[in-house]
Each structure stands twice: as structure tokens, then as C-alpha cells.
Structure 1
Amino acid sequence: MATRHRLAALGLTLAAQLALADDRAPVAAPAPAVGDSWTYQYTDVWKGAKGNLNRMEVTGVDAAGVHVDIKRAASGALLTKQLFSAEMNPVDRGAMHFAPAFTRYAFPLTPGKEWTTDATGDNPKSGKHWRYRIKGKVLNWEKIKVAAGEFDALKVEVEALYHGEEPNSPGGSGQLTETVWFAPEVNNFVKLDYRDTDWNGRIFNRDSWELTTFVRK
């Protein structure tokens, strides 16, 4: 009898959680403002080693998108200037330029939503060029705890098949996967897991970023 009661209680709890998820309104695109910032702890998952703390600072918002300075959190030293679309999808990531933006998000976000887009990626300094086929899907709401606190976040998975094209060379190809937890409360992701594999499926990069602090103006 006690076991049946416990199972019934568990069933009610799961039903309540599902109902809560179903009742949530779709998440609209963020609206970053000058002065907003997010500080992330980088970890090389492959090596099991933590790296630098870097801060993203919004320095401008205009027709081109959201302009961001990437700085060392400890010293404030400027590492690079980057550009994101109004939806916080990467456009310029230092040496890499995407056209159109790399579709990490397709707002409004709601569990079950899927999208497929194409983009090109150029690295002018190296003379390399890639074509991307991007597939994204919103999985569900999750409560996730990071150094910055505990947040209700939408878990998003993005897979991108890419093929490198270089002059007089076949270039490289492979697949990257991003698992992103987007929290409306912070206007950005609170955690991002990244994996990159070559055309044989061999993993050669595994990284993660977790939010430690943030500022919203």
C-alpha cells in the first residue's frame, strides 16, 4: 500500500512538472542593452582543466546587431570584439565571420520547436571557408545550477554539419554540437557544452562555458 502511495505521489509530481512546462509562454528574443555583461568560466572538458574567466560586455546595439567586447574578467584586458545578431546569434567571432548568423536560437523558443538553416563561415586571416547546415531543437525547460545561481532555462541542442572549402584544397569537414541552456532571466545562456568531431566521428574538441556573474541594465 505504501509503495502504491509513493508511486501515486511521484506520478502527481511529474504531472505537475509537465503541466508547468506546458503552461509557460514562448520565450521572446532577448533585448540586450549597453552595459549588460556575462562572465563565463571556460573548461577544457577533454583535458579536464579549467581555463580563463572571460567577460562579455555589450558596447553597442544598432542595425548591425549587438556589439560585444570580450575581456579577461580579472584584468579587464580586451581580447576581441565580436558581433551578434539581435537574437544573440554569432555573426563575428573574432577571426570567424558567419553569413547569415549562426542560428543558435530561433525565437520565439518553446519546447519541441525545430529549425534548419544554412550559413557560411569565413576566416580571412587563414583564407579558410566553410559551409554549414545547421539543425536546432528546443528540448525542454530545466532547472540548472551554475556559479551565478540557479535558473529556469530552456535546453537547446544545435548540430551543424560543415564542409571546408579552400582554394586548391578540399578543406576539412565534420560536425559540431552545442547544447545550450538559455535563461530568459539573464538574456543569454547560463551554460554551453560544445563538441566537435571530424568526418570519421572522432571527437577532437570538448569544451564548456558556465555563467559566474552577470549584469543587466
Structure 2
Amino acid sequence: MKRWWLVAVGMLCGSVHAQSVNAPALKAGDSWVYADTVETGPQGWSRKNIAVTVERVDGDSMLVSDRQEGSTQPAVERLVGLDWSRSRDINGKQQVVNRPMVFPLTPGKKWHVEYTEANPNRQHSSETVGDDYSVVGWEEVQVPAGTFKAVKIEAQGQWTAIVAPSVATDSHGQVDANGALSVSQSQITRPRTVSGRLYKAFWYVPEQKRFVKSVEEYYNSKGVRSSRYTEELQSSKLAG
């Protein structure tokens, strides 16, 4: 009898962790403090605490403020989706560039985010970024705020860019027996396509209404990681 009871409890726990997770009831005043770590190149590293607060909830979006703890600078306010998706101007039109969650969250669920931007910087005449997201399942995660059972979402992606043509000229002077001489050299960069990879992971905890940890990594065309952005929950204060 005892063995059957243990099996039943195990099946019940498994079904709880297998069920879909619906969108949270976000409210003005919900606030989270994250340790925000930025790693760039082989040695670049910085960390700061960022307080994220819901200021207003609308029909399909919300106003969120980001404030660095200990800073005298005002908070940065931004509009995000109710699923914490981020949008920005792409070629004159607002497009989603990051969607870490699509509710309800069910293990095995998949979605795709892709956009192409013209002239994103001086080096590239065009960039295309694509992410394939999937709900991995339940996983235990430890952060400064504690240990949580979380739904893990992963994204594997690729960026592709067309290098903009350019001409670089280098001039220098030389002096010989016949006098001064100016020498100029030009280097022409022709359009070519380059690509790289990216990886993202989010650990969403329903009771916290948001992910307690996130990692975003970007790799250059040689497969070397160029940057990593990590957020870990320090504390939270949720409206009733």
C-alpha cells in the first residue's frame, strides 16, 4: 500500500510540473532587483544592481522602469509586452526583437523571432537575426534570492550580416636624398556576408511573475564569444 501511495504522489508531482503555466497577473508596483552582469571580450566585466518596476499595465503592454541602485541618474522607462517581449524601430516599423516567453508555457512549445535591419551600424549594410525558442521543462535554479523550481526556456539563434563596402586611406611622409615624398595607401573593403551564433536561456518562476535568471550570449563569425549578459534575482516585492 505504501509503495502505491508513493507512486501516486510521484505521478501527482510530475503532472503539476508538466502542466501549462499561464500568463501572470502583473500589477503596478510589482518590483524585482537583479544583479546585472555584463562580460565583453576576454577581460571586460561589470556588475550592477538594477531595480525593475511595473509602473502601469495596459491592454497589451506595460510601462516598466529600470533604475540602477546607488545611482543619481533617473530611471529609464520603456514599454514592453505583457510577455516581457521587447520591440524597437526596425526600418521605420516597430518589430519584436526579443520574446523570451509565449504563454501558456508548456514543455515542448516552440516559437520563432526574426528581423532584418538595414544599416544597423557603420560596418554592416544589413543584419538579420533569428532565434528559435523552446520550452525545455522544469528545472531547479539557484540565485541570490533563493532556490526555485522554474520553467526553463532556451533559444538557439544565428545572426547574418553584409559587410558594408569602404575605402580606408593611410598617408605618411618620407624624406630621402631628393627631398620629401608623400605616400598614400588605400585599402578597399568589398561587400561580403558574415555570420555568427547566439544563445539565450530564461528560468521563469510563476510565483515571481518573471524569470529569476536569464543568460544571453553572442558569438562572432569565428565562434568566439564576444559578449554575455546575465541577470540573477536578488529580491522581489510583488503587489497583492
Normalised to the residue count of structure 1, the TM-score between the two structures is 0.76
Paired position in structure 2 for 1:43: 37
Bigger mean CA offset, 206-215 vs 72-81: 72-81
Q: Does structure 1 residue 114 correspond to structure 2 residue 110?
A: yes
Query: How many residues are aligned here?
Result: 202
1:7-156 equivalences in 2 (<5 Å): 16=10, 20-24=13-17, 25-44=19-38, 47=43, 51-63=47-59, 65-75=61-71, 77-92=73-88, 99-120=95-116, 130-156=127-153
Paired position in structure 1 for 2:159: 162
Given that 1:21 and 1:141 are in contact with CA atoms closer than 8 Å, whether structure 2 keeps it comes out as no
Contiguous gaps of at least 5 residues in structure 1? 1-8
Paired position in structure 2 for 1:208: 230
- Pick the structure with greater CA Rg: 2
Higher strand share goes to which structure?
Answer: 2
Contiguous gaps of at least 5 residues in structure 2? 166-190
Paired position in structure 2 for 1:4: none
Distance change in 2, residues 1:121/1:54 (3 Å): farther
Deviation of 1:19 after TM superposition, in Å, equals 5.9
Separation of aligned partners in 1, 2:147 and 2:21: 18
Match of 1:185 among 207, 223, 233: 207
Q: What whole-Å deviation, never above 9, does each CA across 1:62-106 have from its counterpart, x for those lacking one?
A: 24612111101234633532221121112249xxx9613522112
Normalised to the residue count of structure 2, the TM-score between the two structures is 0.69
Q: Secondary structure at the match of 1:31?
A: coil
Q: Secondary structure at the match of 2:98?
A: coil
Q: Percent identity?
A: 26
